[in-house]
Structure 1
Amino acid sequence: MLGERRPEQYEFFAGSLRDLIPDDHVLAKVSRVLDLSWLADDVADLYCADNGRPGIAPETAVRLMLAGFLLGIVHDRKLMRDAAVNVAIRWFCGFSITERLPDHSSLTRIRQRWGEQRFRRIFERTVEACVTAKIAKGEVVHIDASLIRADVSWEALATRWVDKVGAENPAEEAERNTKKTGKYKKICTTDPEATMATSGRNQRLEPAYKQHTAVCDEAGVIIDVEITTGEINEGNELISTVDRIEATIGTHIKIVTADAGYAYAKVYGQLERRDTSAVIPPKREPIRSPVPMRRFRYDAKHDILKCPRGKKLKAGRRIKHGRFFTSRAKDCRRCNLARLCLSGGRTNKAVVLGDDYPALLRARRRREQWSERDKALYTRHRWRVEGIHAEAKIQHGLARAVRRGLSNMKIQAYLTAAAINLKRLAAFIAALLCRLVADILNGPGRGPNNCSYTVVV
């Protein structure tokens, strides 16, 4: 018999909205581990206690934002449209089924009022919760950087002459831009804080920000995240990342893994002084001369550099991260390698040695003798931290900036990282509950298939 659709349905619903939400829904799982009871006191100084209209409760606002990132809804307008018809979002944020939702612009004003540091504290709280649950230890850390496309169009790009850029920027920045771009550089008129960058030589430059991410090896928890402009070199950010991690979790990092983009002498040297092992493959030495740098021998104990013919090069003036070493003209004049070794018009050899050049040499020797554990850790690095970048971009909308400006980009990154950490924590709690149930049903320490395990509390 063919059924008929009634034109209008009126139902009286009595009960909790939670009854309508499956237990395995991501918002239901995250709600079990999310604690924002501290937030109201933290932002109380930004609100007037006895004047004005009541605003959105701080916990409600953050839950709305987190619900969007957990479900991959990063735009405020779309989030509020979905929240109007999505029972799970209403329940997660504390709204009844008939309650009117706030306007999307309220979330924008809250972000502007609170500032990036308060959102960073929300992220750090998730890290502390994971450390307390012992799914993040910080002993082995994987660090990597990824570009995030800025929220600008190609029509917003403009070319400025370096003279104009130099007149509007500090001297050091103007000098750096001149060296990188020659006579001109491209800038974005709608988001000047986004800079041109690319992740490969065969790919075009795009206006972008760069996210520097540190992931704990234990369970893939993000323990630090920072956003810079796209042109910042990731090697300059590694040590500050390590400092923030140790300050947050209070644990000394034993091993740091990273790709060859971090393989600088200063990085190896600073990690050595911190007694932190670096599983970072050194770059191959660029050969720009018939007599490459590897044929020069450096004696760190006596601070002596010798050329392939055994002649000493004298330490000279300092530069930003190293020193010049120069040979004597009479030594080069008598050398049969001078025709190959010296540049045109020069009478002596000049090379630059980084301050931590010995550490780079030790890293190259160690790379040839990596243990099986080192190889395994570097393999884990590839899918641990690079997998986090893929998860954030595919599932949580971090492939492109939602709003413009460095501060807004940081807030987006902090909330994305917090959402991922909450998923990790919720999964751990769910697994722990399953084990406790198995203990009750099958006896302590025995799983449903009579397999033994250890419950970590």
Structure 2
Amino acid sequence: MIKGQDSIPLSPYMGLYDLVVPKDNMLRQMNELVDFSFIMEELQDKYCLTNGRNAISPIRMFKYLLLKTIFDLSDVDVVERSKYDMSFKYFLDLAPEAGVIDPSSLTKFRKLRLPDEGLLDMLVGKSVEIAIEHNILKDPTIILDATHTRACFNKKSPKEFLQEKSKNVRKAVYRVDESMQGKFPDKPLSNDLQEELEYCSERENIRFTNEHKMELVSKLHPLVTNGSRKNDEFEFNKDAGTYMCKAGHLAIQKKYDGCTKHNKNPRYRYFFDVERCKVCPLKEGCYKEGAKTKSYYVTVKSTEHTEQEAFQETERFKELSKSRYKIEAKNSELKNRHGYKKANYSGLFGMQIQAATTIFAVNLKRILRLKNQKES
């Protein structure tokens, strides 16, 4: 039951907060900036309003998740710090002498109390409302980008993982538009991983942005654009910026071969450590015994993606691309300062929760910074 959960805690020690939590403390400012009652409004249908034991305030539970994100702490660590950090207790609307929750309560809150969908949209929308309210957000431009996040763990085979994700995509699309059921490519029936990869690659960024009349302000990578040759097991590792063989070895050198008489399109040649190839357990069909080098060619197909290539040369693209550093810097902050580099929970919904709270927390920090600059 959550009846009366919005009451103010009474304690003879409340004055301590004025002494130990300064006015410029980030958590104090965040408490003053945001009216967190919207959390109660969103989650009240997840609780019984008439009977049962009093539940911990959903606002307080949500604030625990924000503290986890802001300071990149585990469930256990955020609860432990809440016992003695007065800024944490102030943010949580706790009396100085009040006890804290059991860490397991956060797991239950995430799984049972948070909305099943729409959490990210709700929190991003709320942060936008706050920015507009304080006359901070004025530019209507929206910048979209993607970033890598490592999974918490993965016990599934690559094919099983791809099948699960493609299934989730189809189900999500069908909930919005049932007419799409006959428009997806046919699902592969074999156990071939390459077929599953090709199936999952059918919807590309360029095609998606064109269909939705969006401008893709991202330069084409000549290798990612064209991909590796079919029927082999080399793949481009975006983080390393080079190709990787099926044994997981990265190329150690790259050479650019321009257009020649026999090769109309330029190529990149990737060299692998031949000493590792000689003893590789997967060398059959890949490394020729006695060869002094092992290389892999990728052709840069100059005729593909001509529209995007032309857009890259326009003044509009050059002007818009000047803003890309903003989203890149924000991705870096999300990943390196707030734990978004790796998933904290298993499952897609766990990742959605982490994304929602992380983006919301970072947006609030940014709003506070701009608000303080404006007032100073």
Which stretches in structure 2 are left out of the alignment for 5+ residues? 1-11, 171-183, 230-263, 265-302
CA-CA distance at 1:133 after TM superposition? 3.2
Aligned sequence identity (%) = 21
- Find out whether 1:384 has 2:326 as its counterpart: yes
Describe the shift of the 1:92–1:268 C-alpha distance in structure 2 as closer, same or farther (beyond 3 A): closer
Tell me the secondary structure at the aligned position of residue 66 of structure 2: helix
Residues 285-364 of structure 1: pairs in structure 2 closer than 5 A: 286=226, 361-364=306-309
Q: CA deviation at 1:27?
A: 1.2
Q: CA, structure 1 residues 126+161, in 2 after alignment: closer, same or farther (shift >3 Å)?
A: closer
- Give 1:148 shift: 1.0
SS at match of 1:144: coil
Amino acid at match of 1:402: N
Residues 1:181 and 2:194 are matched in the alignment = yes
Amino acid at match of 1:419: A
Matches within 5 A, 1:14-53: 15-53=15-53
Taking the aligned partners of 2:134 and 2:186, their CA distance within structure 1 comes to: 44
Structure 2: distance between partners of 1:64 and 1:287? 44
Q: Residue 33 of structure 1 contacts residue 425 of structure 1 at CA under 8 Å; is this kept in 2? A: no
Contact 1:26 1:70 (C-alpha < 8 Å) held by counterparts: no
Distance 1:50 1:157, change over 3 A: closer
* Structure 1 counterpart of 2:273: none
Change (3 A) 1:268 1:160: closer
TM-score of the aligned structures, taking structure 1 as reference length: 0.51
Using the alignment, how far apart are the partners of 1:396 and 1:133 within structure 2? Answer: 25
Q: CA deviation at 1:84?
A: 0.9
Deviations 1:27-66 (A, max 9, x none): 1232221211232232222211221110011211111211
- SS class of match (2:48): coil
Q: Is the 8 A contact 1:116 1:408 kept in 2?
A: no
**Cα distance, 1:176–1:68 mapped onto 2, change above 3 Å:** farther
Measure how far apart 1:93 and its partner are: 0.4
Q: What CA distance in whole angstroms lies between the structure 1 residues aligned with 2:27 and 2:193?
A: 47
Is 1:270–2:270 an aligned residue pair? Answer: no
Give the gaps of 5 or more residues in structure 1.
1-11, 186-195, 197-230, 237-261, 290-339, 341-357, 435-457
Paired residues for 1:25-424 under 5 Å: 25-73=25-73, 75-113=74-112, 114-117=114-117, 119-120=119-120, 121-137=122-138, 139-152=140-153, 156=155, 158=157, 174-175=187-188, 180-181=193-194, 236=204, 262=205, 264=206, 266-267=207-208, 269-271=210-212, 274=213, 277-282=215-220, 284=222, 286=226, 361-368=306-313, 370-371=314-315, 374-381=317-324, 383-424=325-366
Distance 1:159 1:148, change over 3 A: closer
**Other structure's SS at 1:385 match:** helix
Cross-structure match for 1:431: 373
- Give 1:124 shift: 2.2
For 2:369 and 2:148, locate their aligned partners in 1 and report how far apart those are by CA, in whole Å. 28
Query: For residues 215 and 158 of structure 2, what CA distance do their matches in structure 1 show?
Result: 44
Change (3 A) 1:268 1:426: closer
For the residues of structure 1 that align with 2:190 and 2:135, how far apart are their CA atoms? Answer: 45
Alpha-carbon offset, residue 174 of structure 1 = 4.9
- Secondary structure of the 2:124 match is helix
In 2 relative to 1, CA 181–365 (structure 1 residues): closer, same or farther, beyond 3 Å?
closer
Matches of 1:43 and 1:60 in 2, distance apart?
12
C-alpha spacing 1:379/1:59, structure 2 compared with 1 (3 Å):
same
Aligned equivalents of 1:363, 1:159: Cα separation in 2? 31
**Shift of residue 23, structure 1, vs aligned partner:** 3.4
Aligned Cα root-mean-square deviation (Å):
3.9
Partner amino acid, structure 1, of 2:43? V
> Residues of 1 paired with 2:20 and 2:375: CA distance?
22
Q: Deviation of residue 152 (structure 1)?
A: 1.4
SS of the aligned residue for 2:142 comes to: strand
Q: 1:176/1:143 Cα in 2 relative to 1: closer, same or farther (>3 Å)?
A: farther
Structure 2: distance between partners of 1:159 and 1:423: 38
Alpha-carbon distance, 1:123 to partner: 3.4
Partner of 1:253: none
**Residues of 2 paired with 1:417 and 1:283: CA distance?**
28
After superposition, the Cα gap between the structure-2 partners of 1:159 and 1:401, relative to the gap in structure 1 and judged at 3 Å, is: closer
Contact 1:149 1:400 in 2 (8 A): yes
Query: 1 CA distance for matches of 2:363 and 2:355?
Result: 12
List per-residue Cα deviations over 1:425-445 (Å, max 9, x = no partner).
Answer: 1112212322xxxxxxxxxxx
* Matching residue's letter, 1:181: Q
TM-score by length of 2: 0.61
What is the rounded CA distance, in whole Å, between the counterparts of 1:385 and 1:60 in structure 2? 30
Cα distance, 1:403 vs. partner? 1.0
Contact 2:334 2:341 in 1 (8 A): yes
C-alpha distance in 2, partners of 1:419/1:400?
A: 17
Give the direction of change, closer, same or farther, for the CA distance of 1:112–1:126 in structure 2 (3 Å limit).
same
Q: 1:138 offset after TM fit, Å? A: 5.8
Query: Residue 418 of structure 1: SS of its match in structure 2?
Result: helix
* Paired letter, 1:405: G
- Pairwise CA distance, 1:365: 2.9
| Cα distance in 1 between the residues matched to 2:327 and 2:190 | 31
Name the SS of the counterpart of 1:117 in structure 2. coil
Secondary structure of the equivalent of 1:68? helix
